[in-house]
Amino acid sequence: MDTNIAETPAIFNAMTWLEKNKKSVVIGVIGIAVVAAVVVSSNASKREKEEKAGQELSRALLSPLLNRTSQADSAEGLLKVASASSGTQAGQQALLLAGGALYGGGKFAEAQAAFERFGREHSGSELAPQALYGVGASLAAQRKTDEAAKTFKETVDRYPSSSVANQARYSLASVLSAQGKLEQAVTLYEEVARADQGGSLGNEAAQRADELRAKLPAVVAPAPIAVTNAPAATK
């Protein structure tokens, strides 16, 4: 089995979440003073909730470093933040990070469940492609290659311009290669190499394509059709 099948993008290990939790809510001009007061109060409450969620996420991320716990152990705190801060940006990120922590700790079935939960609860999120890719990576790590291949393809088809689309193509190619579908794998590796020309993933994909191409059976040209001279016509 190719060791790169279940490789995860960097977002599962490090996510720049802090700035997103401090966005200000812009309040429009309301003609009626009473309505304006309600809107201000609502937005202030939302902003306060986001900031509190961000602080909880920060503590959950720092706790493993301070207490020297494992990635899998840190997932418990992240899942608590995700549940307590449902509806906030930090809550979304906590759930995705929990999946990454579970994956990093070798708890692949639990990681799959966390990523699938993200897909159900935050299908419209900008982080949805990463979560779907996480499902595929978790399936591949459990050696459920048919399901993983289907999920990687779905990631590419649904989110072709996302930051994980090329990684999904690479992972799909790795699964197909492990299944002996070398021609399909070569095609995908070549796509990755073109999309990330000069990049580390692109270079690796180009190398894998060359290695697999050498294993493909040589194309044998068809034998020429023998042509015999027709007998001369008798007069």
What's the pLDDT tens digit per position in 126-172?
Answer: 989 999 999 999 999 999 999 999 999 999 999 999 989 999 999 99
Residue 111 lies in a domain: yes
In a 10 Å sphere around its CB, with 0-12 CB exposed, 13-18 middle and 19+ buried, how is residue 60 labelled? buried
**pLDDT score of 31:** 27
Residue 66 lies in a domain: yes
The percent of residues above 70 in pLDDT, for the chain, comes to: 60
The percent of residues above 90 in pLDDT, for the chain, comes to: 41
Residue 54 lies in a domain: yes
What's the pLDDT tens digit per position in 48-74?
Answer: 656 665 665 666 555 554 455 565 667
Residue 53 lies in a domain: yes
What's the pLDDT tens digit per position in 193-234?
Answer: 999 999 999 999 999 999 999 988 864 445 565 555 555 555
Residue 199 lies in a domain: no
| Model confidence, pTM | 0.69
Residue 21 lies in a domain: no
Q: Read off the DSSP letter of residue 3.
A: T
For residue 129, how many C-alpha atoms fall within 13 Å in the half-sphere facing its CB? 19
Average pLDDT, the chain: 73
**pLDDT score of 17:** 26
Residue 143 lies in a domain: yes
Count of domains forming the chain: 1
Full domain range(s) for residue 157: 10-16+32-179
Residue 202 lies in a domain: no
CATH number reported for the structural domain that contains residue 169 in this entry: 1.25.40.10
Structure tokens at 145: 């290659």
Cα distances (angstroms) measured from residue 164 to each of 9, 115, 196: 7, 14, 12
**pLDDT score of 39:** 36
For the ranges 41-45, 120-124, 137-141, 168-172, the lowest mean pLDDT is seen at 41-45
